[in-house]
Amino acid sequence: MTKADVTILGAGPYGLSAAAHLRTVPGLDVRSFGKPMSFWHCNMPRGMFLRSGWDATHIADPARSLTLEAYQAASGAHFSKPVPLECFVEYGQWYQRESLPDLDQRDILRIEKTLNGFQITLSDGEKVHSRRVVIAAGIRSFAWRPSEFDNFGQSLVSHASEHQDFSPFAGQQVLVIGSGQSALESAALLHESGAEVEVVGRATHINWLQGWASTTLHWRLGRGVRNFLYAPTDVGPAGISQLMARPDLLRKLPRGLQDKLRKRAVRPAGARWLVKRLEAVPIRLGRQVRAVTTVAAGRVKVSFDDGSDRTIDHVLLGTGYRVDISKYDFLSEELKNSIDRHNGYPRLRAGLETSVDGLHILGAPAAWSFGPLMQFVSGTHYASRVLLRSVAGKPAK
Ligand SMILES: Cc1cc2nc3c(=O)[nH]c(=O)nc-3n(C[C@H](O)[C@H](O)[C@H](O)COP(=O)(O)OP(=O)(O)OC[C@H]3O[C@@H](n4cnc5c(N)ncnc54)[C@H](O)[C@@H]3O)c2cc1C
Across 127-155, average pLDDT: 96
Share of the chain above pLDDT 90, in %: 88
Kindly report the average pLDDT of the chain as a whole number: 94
In this predicted structure, what is the pLDDT of residue 90?
A: 98
First to last CA, the chain: 19
Residues paired with 122 in a beta bridge? 108
Exposed, middle or buried by CB within 10 Å (0-12, 13-18, 19+), for 156?
Answer: middle
Whole-angstrom Cα distance, residue 319 to residue 115?
41
pLDDT of 224 above 90: no
Centre of ligand 1 to C-alpha 12, Å, is 6
For residue 77, how far is its CA from the centre of ligand 1 (angstroms)? 23
Q: How confident is the model at residue 397 (pLDDT cuts 50, 70, 90)?
A: very low
Q: Check if the beta carbon of residue 160 is closer than 8 Å to that of residue 182.
A: yes
Q: Is 90 exceeded by the pLDDT of residue 394?
A: no
- Residue 14 Cα to ligand 1 midpoint, Å, equals 8
State the DSSP string of 5-43.
EEEEE--SHHHHHHHHHHTTSTT--EEEES-TTHHHHHS
Please report which confidence band the pLDDT of residue 311 belongs to, taking 50, 70 and 90 as the band edges.
very high
User: At residue 141, does pLDDT exceed 80?
Assistant: yes
- Cα 51 to ligand 1 centre (Å): 14
According to DSSP, residue 107 is labeled P
Choice from 31, 39, 43, 133 to test ligand 1 binding pocket (greatest atom count within 8 A of CB): 39
pLDDT tier, 212 (very low <50, low <70, confident <90, very high otherwise):
low
Residue nearest to atom 15 of ligand 1 (CA): 376
Ligand 1 atom at minimum distance from 377 CA: 11
pLDDT band at 139 (very low <50, low <70, confident <90, very high): very high
Q: Is the dihedral of CA 382, 383, 388, 394 positive or negative?
A: positive
- 221: confidence class by pLDDT, cuts 50, 70, 90: low
* pLDDT at residue 211 in the model: 65
Cα-to-chain-centroid distance, residue 375: 5
User: Residue 214: its pLDDT value, please?
Assistant: 64
- Mutate which of 376, 380, 381 for ligand 1? The one with the most ligand atoms within 8 Å of its CB, which is 376
Look at residue 227 and tell me whether its pLDDT is greater than 90.
no
Phi, psi torsion values for 273, nearest 5 degrees: -70, 0
DSSP single-letter state for residue 19: H
Amino acid type, 110? R
CA pair distance 49, 218, nearest whole angstrom: 20
Count Cβ atoms within 10 A of the Cβ of residue 12 and give its class: 0-12 exposed, 13-18 middle, 19 or more buried: buried
**Residues across the chain:** 397
Lowest mean pLDDT among 165-174, 217-226, 288-297: 217-226
Q: Which atom of ligand 1 is found nearest the CA of 14? A: 25
Tell whether the model's pLDDT for residue 215 goes beyond 80: no
Residues 6 or more apart whose Cβ sits within 8 Å of residue 193: 166, 167, 169, 170
Ligand 1, CB within 6 Å, residue ranges: 9-15, 33-35, 38-40, 44, 50-52, 107-108, 136-140, 182, 330, 363, 375-378
Alpha-carbon distance 279 to 94, whole Å? 37
Which pLDDT value is given to residue 396? 47
**Do residues 236 and 244 make contact, with C-beta atoms less than 8 angstroms apart?**
yes
Ligand 1 midpoint to CA 363 (Å): 8
Ligand 1 closest atom vs CA 33: 43
> Pick the residue with more confidence: 342 or 224?
342
Prediction pTM value: 0.95
**Average pLDDT of span 100-116:** 97
Tens digits of residue pLDDT in 152-206: 999 999 999 999 999 999 999 999 999 999 999 999 999 999 999 999 999 999 9
